[in-house]
Chain A
Amino acid sequence: MRSARAADGRFAWATSDPVRALKPLVFLLCLAPALLLVHDVLYDPEALGANPAETIEHVTGDRSMQFLLGTLAITPLRRITGWGKLIRFRRMLGLFAFFYGVLHLAAYIAFDHYFDVPAILADIVKRPFVTVGFAALVLMTPLAVTSTAGWIRRLGAQNWSRLHKAVYAIAVLGVLHYWWLVKRDLTWPMIYGAILAVLLGWRVWNETLGRQRRRPARVRARAEPGPAE
């Protein structure tokens, strides 16, 4: 862990590095939903509603999906806003997606199946929505493990970035998992699916069509009058 003290001895928030100053705050914000769940389980179970286990599963699943989409939004946002430092939040968001995914799986194993391993394995094999959800979390694991600077060095930047392209598949599996499990109301799976489609669509556009015209296109986008003008 890096110290909050910058190299020149001043505190981080006093330096010109706003990212470093913001990181602890962002970390706490990301952790807050989990802390809130822990608080409710210990001190206020009624706040979790009539089906507390289901609430925990929904909250952790939603958060995992949201952090995953947040991770995928970093690159487009950097390009669009021009604020390159955003990249320094990406690992944290990705690790929180994994963290909430692990909690989600743990809740499923403990609450839904009461640690009945054969039943869990049968569930994973038999039910497509469990299969894809489980696959997404399994695929996330190597990405979480190799998220450190040391692993980037060890793998080499190119291999590392190739490996981490798996995040696209993971996000698609996540949306499928949600889509297939709901009984009737597809509102939220559709919202996540639409956001993911935009994020992936932007990349396709950026890589192909946008390649030759990237510069002029961006200039045009900036020149366009906003609603306030």
Chain B
Amino acid sequence: MSMRALTGLKPIPPSEITPREVFLDRRRFLAGATAAAAGLGTAAPALAEEMAMKLPAARNAAFSTTDAPTAKKIITGYNNFYEFGMGKSDPAASASKMSVRPWTIEIGGAVEKPRTIGIEEVMRLPLEERVYRFRCVEAWSMVAPWIGVEFNKLAALVGPTSKAKYVRFTSVVQPSVMSGVRAEVIDFPYVEGLRIDEAMHPLTILAVGLYGETLPNQNGAPVRVIVPWKYGFKSAKSIVRIDFVEDQPRSTWMKLQPSEYGFYSNVNPAVDHPRWSQARERRLPDFFASTPTLPFNGYADQVASLYAGMDLKKFF
């Protein structure tokens, strides 16, 4: 005899259960409303900090580096997120004002089932922790314990067609809270792209968490791409739109400085940035840039085959 017969209750379909995320979000909303009512407007950033929610996920050791993760304070305090300003500490100072709920991602283009997906549904996908090296084009690096889901799991929900040769990611624009957007330092929204095989590679994840909690806003909440073998700017933050396309997308940095930032932008110690060497990196918070940079940021075994026969100097 089943439990159902004993209790006389119908099983609750998974879709009916309030996800922990949404549930906590309501509490956050209430807490925020209470604080606002009490005239504690200035308490908002602190609140956002407190409200980072636990997001337990088992570490996938096979896909994780054994390098020691960089201190959380550094990962969350030193960011390039130009929508919030050009300074490295600008995002940590002002990204808490970004609204990350409700949040949806529009998925379209060359797919069988174009749709809009809520962040709650993304967070119900099989999340796991991936400790990845993160190498910025500016020659500094970190090691970050992301929590996320392989991008191919999301792609499976919409079914890319044979015309889907590339994937284009578009980041959010919230001008009222983004000083960098208002200053028009760059033509926002931020756009990035991957070749379809790069996007579908198991190393490519959509990250929704960091250090066992939901992603801090300055790191690209609520959901961002992480492509660990490419320079950091390829990993677009705060994604609101994903398009599967036939032609190679023109990314924001390609439009800005095509001679310096190519579409592929694979980490490569042998191909210098026009203005600095990429042979070594500074593992923050080290003083010395004494860490040798590895081809494909150390992920060559997994991804080098994607570029077999390509001249990586030409396709930088």
Residues of A within 8 A of B (CB): 45, 49-54, 110-114, 119, 122-123, 126-127, 129, 180-181, 183-185
Residues of A within 8 A of B279 (CB): 119
A114–B140 CA distance with the chains assembled, in angstroms: 14
In Å, the complex CA distance between A49 and B274 comes to: 27
Contacting pair A184 B186 (CB below 8 A): yes
The answer to whether A51 touches B277, judged by C-beta atoms less than 8 angstroms apart, is no
Determine whether the beta carbon of A114 is less than 8 Å from that of B290. Answer: yes
Contacts of A181 in B (CB 8 A): 275
CB-CB < 8 A to B186: which residues of A?
Answer: 184
Q: A184-B186, A184-B256 are in contact. Are A51 and B284 (CB under 8 A)?
A: yes
Flag if A112 contacts B256 (CB, 8 Å). no
B34-42, B82-90, B111-119, B304-312: which lies at the interface:
B82-90
Residues on B facing A (Cβ under 8 Å)? 73-74, 77-78, 82, 86, 88-89, 138, 140, 185-186, 256, 272, 274-277, 279-280, 282, 284-290
Q: In the assembly, what is the distance between CA of A214 and CA of B286, in Å? A: 56
**Please, how many angstroms separate the alpha-carbon atoms of A151 and B181 in the complex?**
54
Which residues of chain B are within 8 angstroms of A123 by Cβ–Cβ distance? 276-277
Q: Establish whether residues B289 and A111, one from each chain, have CB atoms under 8 Å apart when the complex forms.
A: yes
Query: Measured between C-beta atoms, what is the minimum distance from B228 to chain A in Å?
Result: 19
Q: Given A184-B186, A185-B185: A53 and B277 within 8 A (CB)? A: no
CA distance A181 to B186 in the complex (A): 17
A19-B19 Cα distance, complex, nearest whole Å: 72
From the candidates B138, B285, B289, name the one contacting A113 in the complex (CB within 8 A): B289
Q: List 16 A-B contacts (CB under 8 A).
A: A50-B74, A51-B88, A51-B140, A51-B282, A52-B287, A110-B288, A112-B289, A113-B289, A114-B289, A127-B275, A181-B275, A184-B82, A184-B86, A184-B185, A185-B86, A185-B185
Chain A binding surface, main DSSP class: helix
Chain A CB within 10 Å, residue with most, of B78, B140, B285, B290: B285
4 other contacts beyond A51-B285, A183-B138, A184-B256, with CB at 8 A cut-off?
A: A52-B285, A112-B289, A119-B279, A184-B186
The complex places the Cα of A127 from the Cα of B288 at a distance, in Å, of 20
**Bound complex: CA of A192 vs CA of B88, how far in Å?**
21
Residues in B with CB closer than 8 Å to A119 are 277, 279
Q: How far is the CB of A138 from chain B (nearest CB, A)?
A: 20
Q: For the complex, what is the distance from the CA of A115 to the CA of B285, rounded to whole Å?
A: 19
Residue of B nearest to A182 (CB): B86
